[in-house]
Structure 1
């Protein structure tokens, strides 16, 4: 459990549940919040004209509303009443990744696969939350109900993982059909990004220039580590630094997730961490 909590929950629950009524109220509030957030993302995607992504988030919102209804039915069967929002005494740890949701709105490379990957992580956090409460609850009734909630969330994870895999294959197959275009590996993109960072450094002064120089040196080193990894559209070499940096983050994360080779996974995770930090810096410069 400590490993699960450390890897999925950003903070421990702020308190303990004192009754089943509180448990149902909290579960109801969490599921409703997730539904509202997915609805918001769907509307945002529609305003951007991204109907495929709007459809994904609409389906996710509908699934969360089914979870809301399920908690309501469970509360009625056990307590004879609907969950009472007034009984939510403390804020649950963040199971919906707000940072990822913000990225959905701004990313130029967002796909149904990546949207579903975010949803999987959200459900995994919810599973970890209820597992934590089940493990540390001293009330047998609350422990049993928390275990049931955790089991329910695990079922949601399994369903979304299947949907994510289907989305991946659809995107991969489409690229295979569309793409007689030349492909490049991660090393080639890293070196292209290094050249753009060198240009950027020349235009900056002070601490910004120094930080960009650090990233430039790190990128050259990452290029050596990334040699032979990945297959990216050659057209990416003509994109700006932000788009290349974002594509590399996705490549490393996806590669680490799909690989069964432990040393390779470790290398890709290390590259992903550096690439994420680099992308955050480039975004901060663009925002400034």
Structure 2
């Protein structure tokens, strides 16, 4: 179960505040997924835009449910001015707003959504435990049960996305030296299009990528589980390829058996960070 980045140390004191808080959290999630949908559509990923559209629609339904509840309780819309403190770190796009779109897929999107709903569930269980009245405790428990139901639904969607991805996957094992050579070629192409200063910097990064390729051809790092979730069927662009290499090198830097191998992977990771900074 995903946990909050912080433990709530205050409680809600009125139904108006609880419903306003629930409204704000659901609205934040709906807006977050809508923004991700717009980005994916702009980046040429209508498949993922559709996934985030579905998630945004679900969250807007949750917003409507809270609004209806508020009308039943007080006869009015949730009033966010009733919230006496700032809640944060419940909704998290986990880098989906900045990561190269080529590295995203439906399974990863639904996994993010599952973790967001799990955090919301944990949040409301904290609120129930700290509720000063039975009415507020029962209301917070109702919200927690709702979020747990969302978790179950999204986990089913995630399983379907996993099997769909697994069936459609056509990727074979990546060769590390080939990946670095591909990055080098893309950097050279970008260098030819840039200014003299930019071109010189990118050509130096391409040279470093070829050196890593040569090192990896002589002594590969091994297999990385991170490659199993890499979307198939589309070539990786320069930024996406660099991000993928960085993630794998960081993973190797933590788990390879010898210190010498870990240091080598960490050195490659540092170089990938510099490369990614230059091309973004």
Q: Same fold (TM over 0.5)?
A: yes
Aligned residues of 1:184 and 1:234 also touching (Cα < 8 A): no
Instruction: Supply the distance in 2 between the matched residues of 1:156 and 1:107 (Cα, whole angstroms).
Output: 26
Q: Tell me which of 27, 49, 52 is aligned to 1:57.
A: 52
Deviates more, 1:137-146 or 1:115-124: 137-146
Structure 1 stretches of at least 4 aligned residues deviating more than 6 Å after TM superposition: 194-197, 232-239
Instruction: Supply the distance in 2 between the matched residues of 1:286 and 1:78 (Cα, whole angstroms).
Output: 53
Between structure 1 and structure 2, the one with the greater Rg is 2
Secondary structure in structure 1 of the residue aligned to 2:95: helix
Secondary structure in structure 2 of the residue aligned to 1:43: helix
1:130 matched to which residue of 2? 124
Instruction: Supply the distance in 1 between the matched residues of 2:168 and 2:223 (Cα, whole angstroms).
Output: 26
Secondary structure in structure 1 of the residue aligned to 2:84: coil
1:8 matched to which residue of 2? 3
1:94 matched to which residue of 2? 89
1:85 matched to which residue of 2? 80
Instruction: Supply the distance in 2 between the matched residues of 1:184 and 1:57 (Cα, whole angstroms).
Output: 29
Question: 1:9: Cα distance to partner?
Answer: 0.9
Secondary structure in structure 1 of the residue aligned to 2:136: helix
Q: Tell me which of 31, 41, 52 is aligned to 1:46.
A: 41
Which consecutive residues of structure 2, in runs of 5 or more, have no partner in the other structure?
185-200, 257-261
Aligned residues of 1:14 and 1:90 also touching (Cα < 8 A): no
Secondary structure in structure 2 of the residue aligned to 1:8: coil
Secondary structure in structure 1 of the residue aligned to 2:98: helix
Deviates more, 1:165-174 or 1:18-27: 165-174
Question: 1:119: Cα distance to partner?
Answer: 1.2
Q: CA, structure 1 residues 29+49, in 2 after alignment: closer, same or farther (shift >3 Å)?
A: same
Instruction: Supply the distance in 1 between the matched residues of 2:231 and 2:176 (Cα, whole angstroms).
Output: 10
TM-score (norm 1): 0.66
Instruction: Supply the distance in 1 between the matched residues of 2:179 and 2:9 (Cα, whole angstroms).
Output: 46
Aligned residues of 1:35 and 1:61 also touching (Cα < 8 A): yes
Question: 1:138: Cα distance to partner?
Answer: 3.0
1:184 matched to which residue of 2? 173
Question: 1:163: Cα distance to partner?
Answer: 0.6
1:243 matched to which residue of 2? 241
Q: Tell me which of 3, 18, 22 is aligned to 2:13.
A: 18
Which consecutive residues of structure 1, in runs of 5 or more, have no partner in the other structure?
254-265
- CA RMSD, 1 decimal: 4.3
Question: 1:59: Cα distance to partner?
Answer: 0.8
Are 2:137 and 1:143 equivalent residues in the alignment?
Answer: yes
Q: CA, structure 1 residues 55+107, in 2 after alignment: closer, same or farther (shift >3 Å)?
A: closer
Higher relative contact order (CA 8 A, sep 6+): 2
2:194 matched to which residue of 1? none
Instruction: Supply the distance in 1 between the matched residues of 2:75 and 2:12 (Cα, whole angstroms).
Output: 19
Question: 1:128: Cα distance to partner?
Answer: 1.5
Aligned length in residues: 244
2:276 matched to which residue of 1? 283
2:187 matched to which residue of 1? none
Q: CA, structure 1 residues 102+280, in 2 after alignment: closer, same or farther (shift >3 Å)?
A: farther
1:261 matched to which residue of 2? none
